[in-house]
Chains A and B, each alone.
Chain A
Amino acid sequence: MDLEFSAEDEEYRQRLRAWLKENVGGGGDSPNAVMKQAEEDPEAAKDPLAGARAWPRRLHDAGYVGLAWPKEYGGQDASFTQQVICGEEMAKVRTPPLINTIGLSIIGPTLVQHGTEEQKKRFLPRILRADDLWCQGFSEPEAGSDLASLRCRAELDGDEFVVNGQKVWTSLAFLSDWMFLLVRTDPDAPKREGISYLLLDMKSPGIEVRPLRNAAGGQHFSEVFFDNVRIPKKNLVGELNKGWSIARSSLDHERSGLSGVVALEETLGRLFRMAGKVDRGQQKSVEDQSARRALAQHWIAIEGLRHLGYRTLSDQIAGKPPGAGSSVGKLFASELRQEMTRTAMDLQGPFAPIAKRSPHVVDRGRWHAAYFDALAHSIGGGTSEIMRNVIAEKVLGLPRAQED
């Protein structure tokens, strides 16, 4: 048993650290960088997202995105340990968010696994360079946790699918160039057997995107309506009516979650410091024994999650089939994040209600945003209830909860 990375991996880590030191905080998306880019490439300067695309492009040029993807499509063919190291180091220096995250983490790996040669060549390099931004068209008003009951229809008409229906909770739909979506292509088949997986150009006629304001006040997700939207048949992923298992595999992508651990750890450090500043009764919040125990319990939980991640990673390296690690990790991490932000709200005591830009606000109001953000984590990407169903059925071998 050991937790050592190989000398080669450690060298990789050092190179990456040096690169990040040079490249993070220097501001790829700063106004100056955007201006400079505009001089070099006037066409790109017309793109309002040029700044946001600059960072993933820089990462790609340096070889730090698409780590798990094959080299022939612009990936790196990197080892599992290098993927973990990359995630950890980027989390440590809090690199800017990647505007092409959905492409990198969901549709990219799905196409690597299930796409045609033409689809891979066409889409993968553009995902890596953030030339194309992607959104996910899965959920519908009547198909949330029961995703397989989705109704959005697609009918073949010659060489094209014609799509009618609606998607909802579509993150970043209004920015996206492409959507991958699940549609019903055989209404008579059992519900999991009549679903297909399509790739849709968001510039196609007949699409209407209506942004929804979320509970935190932002406009992160949208409703998307389709009125006779036409999709060429070559944009079908996998076989007709076999989309369900492809979607399942994209939700199952094995991840050790170790970069998430770095982020939780950073949040806990910040939380501990905050509790040391805030007055609560006759003492600082952190001096209260129950507060200290809650913070300690978070530390213990984070260490548990970290070591669970090491077990998952070890299994990946050894080529073992995925164990309980990833579903347990997702459920545990999202609930831990909520418990931590709840503690953060509690430990602010009477200062908790004070909104940003008000006098006496704690940490410029960041805990309010963190609190709301954490609440979304146990809903998106499979609710905690669905994760428990998965654990009960797949790990514990209990009989299925719901009938199909």
Chain B
Amino acid sequence: MDFNLSEEQEALQDMARDFLSERWPRERVREQLDARPALVDDDVWQEIVEMGWLGVAASEEAGGIGGDIMTAAVLCREAGRGVLPGPFQSSLVAAIALERSGDKELVSGLLSELIEGKTRVSVAIDESAGLYGGASVAAHASESSSGWLLSGSKFLVPDANEADVLLVAAQTPDGPGLVRVSTEAEGVTINRMDRMDGQSCAEVVFENAPVEGSALVGGKDRGASLLHDVYDIATVLLAADLLGSAEASLELTRLYAIEREQFGKPIGSFQAVSHRLANTLVDVEIGISLLYGACLALDEGRDNAGPLVSGAKAWLSDAAVDAAETALQIHGGVGFTWEYDVHLHMRRSRCNAALQGDADHHRDRVAAYMSEDWVPQIKS
């Protein structure tokens, strides 16, 4: 029984936190907000690549460091805390998808290139509004004389505009799964959109776009389960990012409540303020616990991994937004200024709360699990 981060994970966490606070100052985030899309500076990105962050959950054969989902989540939490924009998280999700494909060629080829920063890859799963995950995919690849051709459209694809290759969820002659499509290929249209926090995403339309290799990533047998797993992993990493946002909002506000005086006292001594922050702390602690639980369940392949992932995403979507709103209110006037960081966390958490299933979507998923699997095995 040891339900805490390992020493290595804690060291990685400290290192990432220090790196981002030093190399990715909030002034740059603000500038990026004005100069959309917000992308990390090339030199900082190069350092991130060199530190091996993209290979954190990839095997050593691919140039990775062989960590698990929990370790990947450590980095995403710091990315959220440090307001690091794309393409870090989208690249990390793509790397995990390629690693888990078990396809030696992809691992030694595309994955190595991704980890070395030579090729950018993003994963495109969600489609129209309100339908999330692999189960509701309508895009389809059909057989043709020149191989598989993909048609359909993907919505809110992270960093698609900057990607070289997309891993696209589709129905195929071999069943549902992910297929590879070059963003340069004929029949691929990328309509860039900026998020409220400045990050880049896109609507991507495929019209008979050629599928590389004319096969599912992971092959016919593993294609569907890979798609399912990748979506859960992407979702839990987004939850980790939300946790980082929530913690950042809380810490900013905690320090402000200690320092700022009104009526001759620090405002943190007033219960209207301190109790609201105590509530945020409770939300954050429960959020950390849910995140760890979901990551461990994924890493150990437990049956209840899916609902735990949904639980973490639902909880942290609400918690991060609440933390940001609390931060703004308690900062008062200065919290509403461009120069304070409060709005940076609010923007990011608001975006991430809505992506890959909002809190209600994930509660619905938990409710379905409860009636089908959980209630029958609970003794009452």
Residues of A within 8 A of B (CB): 1-6, 81, 92, 265-266, 268-270, 272-273, 286, 289, 292-293, 295-297, 299-301, 303-308, 310-311, 313-315, 317-318, 324-325, 328, 331-332, 385, 387-389, 391-393, 395-401
Contacts and interface: CB of A to CB of B under 8 A. Distances in A.
Contact of B285 (A297, A306, A313, A324): A324
Could you say which of B6, B296, B367 has the most chain A C-beta atoms within 10 Å of its C-beta? B367
Nearest to A81: B1
Contacts of A272: 370-371, 375
B285 A303 contact: no
B286 A299 contact: no
Given A292-B367, A295-B367, A396 B1 contact: no
A396 B252 CA distance: 12
Contacts of B378: 265-266, 268-269
B257 A1 contact: no
10 contacts: A3-B1, A299-B311, A300-B290, A300-B311, A304-B293, A311-B288, A324-B281, A328-B285, A398-B257, A399-B265
Given A296-B366, A328-B281, A396 B379 contact: no
Nearest to B269: A399
B3 interface: yes
Given A396-B277, A399-B269, A1 B296 contact: yes
Q: Interface majority SS on A: helix, strand, loop or mixed?
A: helix
Given A273-B375, A313-B3, A392-B278, A308 B363 contact: no
A332 B282 contact: yes
Contacts of A318: 2, 4
Contact of B258 (A6, A265, A385, A398): A398
Contact of A392 (B9, B265, B268, B374): B268
B266 interface: yes
B380 to A, nearest CB: 4
A398 B1 contact: no
Given A2-B3, A313-B3, A392-B278, 16 more contacts: A1-B3, A1-B5, A269-B374, A269-B380, A273-B375, A292-B367, A293-B364, A295-B370, A299-B311, A301-B315, A308-B286, A310-B289, A332-B282, A388-B271, A392-B271, A396-B278
A162 B70 CA distance: 60
A398 B277 contact: yes
Could you say which of B4, B70, B292, B296 has the most chain A C-beta atoms within 10 Å of its C-beta? B4
B95 interface: no
B3 A3 contact: yes
Nearest to A396: B254
Contact of A307 (B254, B293, B299): B293
B269 A391 contact: no
B278 A304 contact: no
Contacts of A389: 271, 274-275, 278
Q: Which 6 A-B pairs have the closest CB atoms?
A: A269-B378, A307-B289, A304-B286, A392-B274, A398-B268, A296-B366
B270 interface: yes
B175 to A, nearest CB: 30
B279 interface: yes
B82 to A, nearest CB: 21
Contacts of A325: 285
Contacts of A2: 1-3, 296
B360 A293 contact: yes
A308 B289 contact: yes
Interface of B: 1-6, 9, 70, 254, 257-258, 265-266, 268-271, 274-275, 277-279, 281-282, 285-290, 292-293, 296, 299, 307-308, 310-311, 314-315, 360, 363-364, 366-367, 370-371, 374-375, 378-380
Nearest to B307: A299
A314 B275 contact: no
Contacts of B4: 1, 311, 314-315, 318
Given A398-B277, A401-B270, A297 B363 contact: yes
Contacts of B310: 300
B358 to A, nearest CB: 11
Contact of B282 (A268, A299, A328): A328
A296 B275 contact: no
A230 to B, nearest CB: 41
Could you say which of A306, A387, A399 has the most chain B C-beta atoms within 10 Å of its C-beta? A399
Contacts of A5: 1
Contact of A300 (B269, B278, B282, B314): B314
A195 to B, nearest CB: 24
B370 A388 contact: no
B6 A1 contact: yes
B290 A304 contact: yes
Contacts of B292: 1, 307, 311
B269 A400 contact: yes
Contacts of B5: 1
A391 B281 contact: yes
A274 B157 CA distance: 42
B278 A92 contact: no
Contacts of A273: 375, 380
A257 to B, nearest CB: 12
B287 A304 contact: yes
